Each structure stands twice: as structure tokens, then as C-alpha cells.
């Protein structure tokens, strides 16, 4: 057989094999993501952590993505010490500008939820430096969260109450929760409890809990 013909055949076979491997990884990536997400939602954390470090998961997901997934799992599990360790690891890594922006916003929200004011402020300062226009809403949202949760301000109440009628589902529940926090900051516990109950109800309805309650 002509050497050129042999080379052509080998090249074609290599491309076919590469295409099959790429397709295999792509399919398994989607399947694995759904499986891992399901394990977290079901609270099967032991199985999740075993699977996230399995050879197959290592094959289809880069280390950064797997570590990011672990962060979500630790937060859902309520293991905040482990979550902080993983978050510190991620923040110390060299990443793309888009990955970094996503990470600092996530880190900010985690620090806010854990009431870590100093670390939240450090993330907020970095968020304020993001230049891309697509981050403008994230900047405003994070500044508002910092004002309400850390600085204990209540100056967003009128604005949020006007926006409520246009909101539904989880977005409405979140807004009502932020209103509850602000009324708490203001010392109005009756309004705080009212909005807290409304927020809980909106979240339950969004998750289908209203059907179960009936």
C-alpha cells in the first residue's frame, strides 16, 4: 500500500477516534452534572464527594470545576469550615478574568451569608473594579446587599416595595427577605415578621411546597 494512502487512513482513523472521545466526554459531562447536582439536592453528600473525585469525573471536569462544585456541596451541607477552606483555595488560584469575576461575586455572597464583614468588603472592593458593563447589575446588587446585611441600612425599602408587584417566585421571595432585614435594621419587628413570612411562603410556592401543604 502506498505510504501516503496509509498516512491518510491513519489520519482519518485518528480524527474518528478523537470525535468519538469528544462526544463521549460531552455526553458524560451532561450526565455527570445532572447526577452530581441531584446528589446535592438529595443531601447524599458522602456519595457526592466519592463521585466528584472518581476517575470518570476527573476525566470530564477540570480540577477548578470540580473544586467549585465541592464548594456548593459544602455550603448546602452546612459545613462552613470546609467551604471556607475550599473558597480560600479557589480565590488563590490563577483564573481567567471571567472565572475570577464569577468567583468573587459568589465569594461575596457566601461571606455575606456567614456575616464575615471584612472578607465581604474585600470582595466588594474587587467587584467594584470590574470594568465590563455586563457586571454593572452585579455591582449594584452586591453594594445593596452589603449596605443591608453589613452596614444595617434600610434606605432601599421604598424602592423595593414599589418593585414587589412586578416580581414573582424566588425573585419576589428574595426581595421580601431583604425587606424583612431592613425592617429589622429599622427596629420594626412587626413588619420584619410580616415580610419574613411572605418570603418563606413565596419560596415554598416556588419549590412546589404549596401543593404539598394542601
Residues 6+ apart with CB under 8 A from 142: 105, 108, 109, 123, 124, 127
Render each residue's pLDDT in the chain as its tens digit; 214 residues: 555 555 554 454 454 444 433 443 354 567 788 888 888 888 999 999 999 999 888 888 889 989 998 998 999 899 999 999 999 999 999 999 999 999 999 999 999 989 999 999 999 999 999 988 888 999 999 999 999 999 999 999 999 999 998 888 888 899 999 999 999 999 999 999 999 999 988 887 766 654 343 3
Q: How far is CA 201 from the centre of its chain?
A: 23
Q: Rounded CA gap, 44 and 51, in Å?
A: 11
| DSSP labels, 7-56 | HHHHHHHHHHHHHHHHHHHHHHHHHHHHHHHHHHHTT-HHHHHHHHTSHH
Query: What's the confidence (pLDDT) of residue 63?
Result: 92
* Model pLDDT, residue 37: 86
Domain ranges of the chain: 152-209
Q: What is the pLDDT of residue 158?
A: 96
Amino acid at each position: 500500500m502506498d505510504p501516503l494512502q496509509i498516512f491518510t487512513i491513519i489520519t482519518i482513523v485518528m480524527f474518528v477516534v478523537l470525535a468519538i472521545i469528544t462526544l463521549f466526554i460531552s455526553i458524560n459531562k451532561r450526565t455527570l452534572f445532572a447526577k452530581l447536582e441531584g446528589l446535592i439536592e438529595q443531601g447524599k453528600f458522602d456519595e457526592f464527594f466519592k463521585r466528584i473525585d472518581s476517575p470518570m469525573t476527573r476525566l470530564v471536569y477540570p480540577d477548578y470545576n470540580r473544586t467549585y462544585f465541592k464548594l456548593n456541596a459544602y455550603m448546602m451541607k452546612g459545613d462552613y469550615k470546609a467551604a471556607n477552606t475550599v473558597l480560600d483555595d479557589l480565590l488563590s488560584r490563577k483564573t481567567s478574568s471571567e472565572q475570577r469575576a464569577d468567583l468573587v461575586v459568589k465569594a461575596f455572597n457566601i461571606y455575606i451569608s456567614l456575616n464575615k464583614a471584612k472578607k465581604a468588603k474585600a470582595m466588594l472592593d474587587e467587584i467594584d473594579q470590574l470594568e465590563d458593563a455586563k457586571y454593572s447589575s452585579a455591582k449594584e446588587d452586591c453594594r445593596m446587599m452589603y449596605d443591608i446585611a453589613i452596614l444595617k441600612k434600610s434606605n432601599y425599602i421604598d424602592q423595593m416595595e414599589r418593585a414587589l408587584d412586578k416580581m414573582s417566585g424566588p425573585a419576589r421571595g428574595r426581595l421580601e427577605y431583604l425587606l424583612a432585614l431592613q425592617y429589622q435594621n429599622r427596629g420594626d419587628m412587626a413588619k420584619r415578621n410580616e415580610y419574613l413570612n411572605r418570603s418563606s411562603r413565596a419560596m415554598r410556592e416556588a419549590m412546589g411546597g404549596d401543593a404539598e401543604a394542601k
